[in-house]
Amino acid sequence: MPTAPASRYTERLTADNCAVLLIDHQTGTMLGVQDIRLDQFRSNVLALAETAKTHALPTVLTASYAEGPNGPLMPELLEMFPDAPYIARPGMINAWDDPRFVNAVEKTGRKKLIMSGVTSDVCLMFPALSALAAGYDVYCVYDASGCWDLMSELTASMRLVQAGCIVTNWAAIAADLQSDWRRPTAAGTLETFRQHLPFYSMLSNNQEAVRRQAKAAAK
């Protein structure tokens, strides 16, 4: 008989069981991302952050050596989460090597960690592997992470999967958390989709046009 998958691969995400870790989305390092257009990459990061905001997920921000060439954290993230823990690491490459970061994660009280970072093969992978070793369920959001080239991104994703991480995209995270369009967070989720999925914005425009035409015809 086939072996049933471990529960961490099948359990649903909810607003009560997960936290979001945004790692090293710094305006210097992000310039080196080449596996995805920079404007699309920025949009994906903001979409994931807005999803965390919509569902009131505990969120932890961190940056490494921000006063150096890595540059400061994206200002939009700091503005979006003014009260979230922000760990400015003085030198540790692996965020999990900073006890303040680990403490901030522990304080969320969540065992499912949704993580993204730059670069995928370092800033995301190292703390993701450390979190796995510490007993967390780790969701790595590949399209809100980035790398120097596509092969590096693909090999990083393969290593994360081999280790036991769940590799996914921000839209799947948002849809899983929303789960039902009748829930009160639907307006926020729809707005994130409109802003960061161009095709969805067009679908919404088409739907509104059809509604207006139906109303006009009914008069």
Known catalytic residues?
A: 123
CB 108 within 8 A of CB 60: yes
* Exposed / middle / buried, residue 91 (Cβ in 10 Å: 0-12, 13-18, 19+): exposed
Compute the distance between CA of residue 15 and CA of residue 176 in angstroms, rounded to an integer: 10
Whole-number Cα distances in Å, 49 to 76, 92, 177, 195, 209: 9, 24, 13, 13, 30
Residue 64 contacts residue 92 (beta carbons within 8 Å) = yes
What interhelical angle do 186-196 and 198-218 show, nearest 10?
Answer: 120
